[in-house]
């Protein structure tokens, strides 16, 4: 997983970088096919905003979170990304299962016609 961490009006400290990495490991643990993650941390007066774009095979997932505390915003973002990645994983799994069922039905139909 390639991680690109950017700060707008904010210096990315090693503590914030480590916190983001540990939170995004959960997303990577649920779905192995994460290719690229781009995270933007920004500060606007009292508003701390975190945005993330996760590139997985076949889809780009975007989430953002706003909070008064940067660490709380990162937590909320990780939860949102986790839900979206799990949903994408289920859709991919169900799509594959449907294709296998269609192929089995086609084979059974051919066998009935031929026999």
What is the pTM (predicted TM-score) of this model? 0.79
Please give the CATH topology (third level) of the domain spanning 2-114. Double Stranded RNA Binding Domain (3.30.160)
The rounded distance, in Å, linking the Cα atoms of 43 and 79 is 20
**Do residues 14 and 26 touch, judged by C-beta distance below 8 A?**
no
Domain locations along the chain: 2-114
pLDDT at 108: 72
The per-residue pLDDT for range 36-45, each reduced to its tens digit, is 999 999 999 8
Cβ burial, residue 60 (10 Å; 0-12/13-18/19+): exposed
The per-residue pLDDT for range 7-66, each reduced to its tens digit, is 999 999 999 999 999 999 888 887 777 889 999 999 998 899 999 999 988 789 999 999
């Amino acid at each position: 997983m390639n991680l690109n961490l950017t700060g707008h009006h904010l210096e990315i400290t090693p503590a914030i970088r480590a916190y983001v990495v540990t939170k995004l490991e959960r997303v990577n643990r649920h779905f192995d096919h994460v290719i690229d993650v781009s995270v933007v941390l920004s500060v606007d007066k009292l508003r701390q905003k975190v945005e993330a774009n996760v590139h997985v095979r076949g889809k780009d997932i975007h989430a953002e979170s706003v909070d008064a505390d940067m660490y709380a915003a990162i937590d909320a973002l990780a939860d949102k990304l986790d839900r979206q990645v799990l949903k994408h994983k289920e859709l991919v799994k169900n799509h594959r299962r449907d294709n296998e069922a269609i192929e089995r039905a086609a084979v059974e139909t051919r066998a009935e016609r031929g026999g």
